Amino acid sequence: MALSKLIFFAIILTIISGSFETKYKGIVGNVCEKTTENPRGYCYEQLPQRGFPIAYIKDKGGVSVVGRLGIVDDFELTRFIFANLANTLIYFSILYALFFTYRKYNNH
């Protein structure tokens, strides 16, 4: 019974994690100055991504409106599935550890 509740809460936390937006350094073009550190002349900018701790949707700098997540962004079904499974496992592990630590120390 407790295990199914932990799995349920881990899934809920994974769904909620989609509301967390973080940034990653992504390519937004290729017309910047070429240097020894940037021989191809790519332009970089901080772009949004959603999902925590593992992001499953990222802004595609050269395709969509830069700085906004939308339908045409970098959404890959395999990344979505694996990132959400990994997030669920991470949240489940944390909840599992908290739950059994709580039961161990509050067992009368």
Instruction: Report pLDDT for 1.
Output: 56
Res. 97 pLDDT band, cuts 50 70 90: very high
pLDDT tens-digit map of 98-108: 988 888 888 75
The rounded percent of the chain whose pLDDT value lies above 70 is 91
Domain range for 49? 2-105
> Chain-wide mean pLDDT for the chain?
84
DSSP collapsed to 3 states, the chain? CHHHHHHHHHHHHHHHHCCCEEEEEEEEECCCCCCCCCCCCCEEEEEEEECCCCCCEECCCCCCCCCCCCCCCECCHHHHHHHHHHHHHHHHHHHHHHHHHHHHHCCC
Q: Quick count: other Cβ atoms within 10 Å of Cβ 79?
A: 16
Domain count along the chain: 1
pTM assigned to the model: 0.71
pLDDT tens-digit map of 40-80: 888 888 888 888 888 888 887 767 677 777 666 666 778 88
